[in-house]
Amino acid sequence: MIEVSGVTKTFRTDCLEIQAVDDVHFAVQPGKFILIFGRSGSGKSTLLGMLAGLLRPTKGEIRINGVDISNLSDDKISELRAKEIGFVFQFSGLLPTVTVLENILVPTLFCKKSPGSRLRALELLKKVGVSDRADAYPCTLSSGEMKRVAIARALINGPSLLIADEPTGDLDVDTEYEIMELFRQLNREGTTIVMVTHNPDLIPYGTQTYCMERGKMVEKPGSSSFIKCEPGLDNHPKPKDLP
């Protein structure tokens, strides 16, 4: 459902030009749980930003469900994001002035869904395990609870794709485990997930792993030396092993 072809992103300042993503090719099939692994500064979050339509590639093409988003107008991309893409940020990103339930409902403002969104939101809250905090404000939640609410929010419009940018970056080990189990469960139920992480311990959760280093996918799919990390194997690339 996602095809990334020759995508490059260059950031230009007055005196500097940085190629954050350099000629990346890959594809994501429906129902997969893709992990993009790499160190800080490898370009993985920039790639994610382009997948979500928040950044335009300098070169190349990104197709989501057959639609080339690289050249869509801002309004069209926004419409696509509202309908098709759910986003989980590194920080929880909950709006502090609205309740937990209302936070989950905020994306429905941008997508004309059928009535009953509030019931669906309550179901999602139950699914992520925080149904008793519906009327609470985010400042009273733990970081794990906030992350669960953020996941529920990302799912309210029934997106075909869930994008997560280092969602466990600010969590302790136990909570990280709980959140990753939640992602695994959602993927088993059919949600396509693309997640970015710098934590190699999370690689076994994905059905497929890509590695990024200095803006490049280390190996292109199809290449003989392409590194794929299968769950259960212990030969997954550790940062020091990457060329």
Partner 1 sequence: MSKPPDFRFFNLIARNLANRPYRNIATVFAFAIIAATFFSSHYLMSGAQQSLDSGISRMGADILVVPEEYSGAGQTVILSGTPSSFFFSDSGFEKISRIHGVAKASPQIYIATLFASCCAAPVQMIAIDPERDFTISTWLKENPGIILEKDDIIIGSAIIQDVGKDLMFYGHNFHVIGILEQTGMGVDNAVFTRFEDAYVMADESGEKAVKKLTIPQGKVSAVLVKVDPGTSPAVVANEIMTQVPGTKVIMSNGLLNAVSGQLGATTRILYFASLAVTIVSIPLLGLISIMVAHERKKEISILRAFGATKSFVVRLMFAESFSLAIIGGFIGIGASAGILMIYQDFIRITLKIPFIMPSPTAILVQGGSALLLSILIGGIASIYPVFLITRSSPYEAIRGG
Footprint of partner 1 (CB under 8 A):
45, 49, 52, 54-55, 74-75, 78-83, 87, 89-91, 93, 95-98, 102, 105-111, 115-119, 137, 153, 157, 165
Phi/psi at 90 (nearest 5 deg)? -65, -45
**In the complex, least distance from residue 55 CB atom to partner 1, rounded to whole angstroms:** 5
**In the complex, least distance from residue 133 CB atom to partner 1, rounded to whole angstroms:** 17
**In the complex, least distance from residue 158 CB atom to partner 1, rounded to whole angstroms:** 13
**In the complex, least distance from residue 97 CB atom to partner 1, rounded to whole angstroms:** 4
Q: How far apart are CA 39 and CA 208, in angstroms?
A: 18
The residue (of 10 and 108) whose beta carbon lies closer to partner 1 is: 108
The residue (of 61 and 102) whose beta carbon lies closer to partner 1 is: 102
**In the complex, least distance from residue 211 CB atom to partner 1, rounded to whole angstroms:** 21
Q: What is the DSSP string of 96-118?
A: TTS-HHHHHHGGGGGS-PPS-HH
Q: How far apart are CA 145 and CA 116, in angstroms?
A: 24
The residue (of 166 and 237) whose beta carbon lies closer to partner 1 is: 166
How far are the Cα atoms of 12, 53, 87, 103, 164 from residue 82, in angstroms, in the given order? 29, 11, 10, 15, 15
> What angle, 0 to 180 degrees and rounded to 10, lies between the N-to-C axes of helices 173-188 and 143-155?
20
The residue (of 25 and 113) whose beta carbon lies closer to partner 1 is: 113
C-alpha distance across the termini of the chain, in Å? 30
The residue (of 76 and 228) whose beta carbon lies closer to partner 1 is: 76
